[in-house]
C-alpha cells in the first residue's frame, strides 16, 4: 500500500475533499477550475507495474503533471485521479487491461497544483515471455469536441455513483 501525502491547497479558488482510493488509502485533495492545455506535439508516456505503481514517467508527463519524476516513480497512478472522473471509467480500463486488451479513453487528470488537464489515453499490457508484467499508457492531445460530449456523461455517471445507482 502506497500512502500519498495530502495535497497543498492552491492559492487560487478551489474545492477540497478527502479522496478514498481502491487500495484503501486516502488523502486530502484540492482542485481548481483551471485547465492546463495539453502541449501540442507531445506524448505523455508512463509505465506501471501490475498494481498501477508508476515505474517510468517521460519528461512530458513530469511537466504536465506538476510532480517531479522522483514523486511520480513509485507512486500509484491514482495520484492523478481528478474527483470529476467516475469510478466506472477506471473499472472499464482495468477490466479491459486484465483481459489482455488495449484500452482507449478520455481522462481528466489532477495536477499537483490543483489544476487539471485532459488526455486521450491508450493503455496496454506489457507482455514478457507470454506473461503480463505491467502496463504502458500513452496520452495524446484530446479532441475538445469529444471532451465536451463526455463531460455530461461523466457527470451523470458520477451522480449515479454518489447515489449508489447501478453499483
Between CA 104 and CA 43 the distance in angstroms is 15
Exposure letters 63-96 (e unless 16+ CB within 10 A, then b): ebbbbeeebbeebbbbbbbbbebbeebbeebeeb
The pTM of the full predicted model, rounded to 2 decimals, is: 0.92
Q: Grid coordinates representing 64?
A: 504536465
- Does the pLDDT value for residue 167 go beyond 90? no
Q: pLDDT of 17-76, one tens digit each?
A: 999 988 889 999 999 999 999 999 999 999 999 999 999 999 999 999 999 999 999 999
Q: pLDDT of 124-134, one tens digit each?
A: 999 999 999 99
pLDDT of residue 3: 78
- Does the pLDDT value for residue 13 go beyond 80? yes
Computed over its alpha carbons, how large is the radius of gyration of the chain?
A: 15
Q: What value does the mean pLDDT of the chain take? A: 94
pLDDT of residue 1: 58
**Helix or strand holding residue 63 (H, E):** helix 59-65
How far lies 33's CA from each of 55, 72, 79, in Å?
29, 23, 18
Q: Residue 106's closest CA among 145, 158, 79?
A: 145
Between CA 166 and CA 26 the distance in angstroms is 24
Q: pLDDT of 110-160, one tens digit each?
A: 999 999 999 999 999 999 999 999 999 999 999 999 999 999 999 999 999
pLDDT of residue 160: 94
Amino acid at each position: 500500500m502506497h500512502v500519498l501525502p495530502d495535497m497543498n491547497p492552491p492559492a487560487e479558488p478551489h474545492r477540497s475533499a478527502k479522496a478514498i482510493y481502491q487500495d484503501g488509502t486516502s488523502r486530502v485533495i484540492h482542485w481548481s477550475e483551471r485547465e492546463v492545455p495539453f502541449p501540442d506535439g507531445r506524448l505523455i508516456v508512463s509505465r506501471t507495474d501490475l498494481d498501477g505503481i508508476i515505474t517510468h514517467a517521460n519528461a512530458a508527463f513530469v511537466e504536465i503533471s506538476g510532480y517531479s519524476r522522483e514523486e511520480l516513480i513509485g507512486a500509484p497512478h491514482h495520484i492523478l485521479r481528478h474527483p470529476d472522473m467516475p469510478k466506472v471509467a477506471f473499472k472499464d480500463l482495468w477490466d479491459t487491461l486484465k483481459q489482455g486488451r488495449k484500452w482507449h479513453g478520455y481522462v481528466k487528470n489532477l495536477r499537483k497544483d490543483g489544476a487539471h488537464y485532459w488526455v486521450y489515453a491508450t493503455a496496454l499490457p506489457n507482455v514478457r515471455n507470454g506473461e503480463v508484467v505491467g502496463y504502458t499508457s500513452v496520452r495524446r492531445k484530446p479532441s475538445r469536441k469529444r471532451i465536451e460530449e463526455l463531460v455530461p456523461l461523466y457527470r451523470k455517471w458520477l451522480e449515479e455513483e454518489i447515489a449508489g445507482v447501478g453499483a
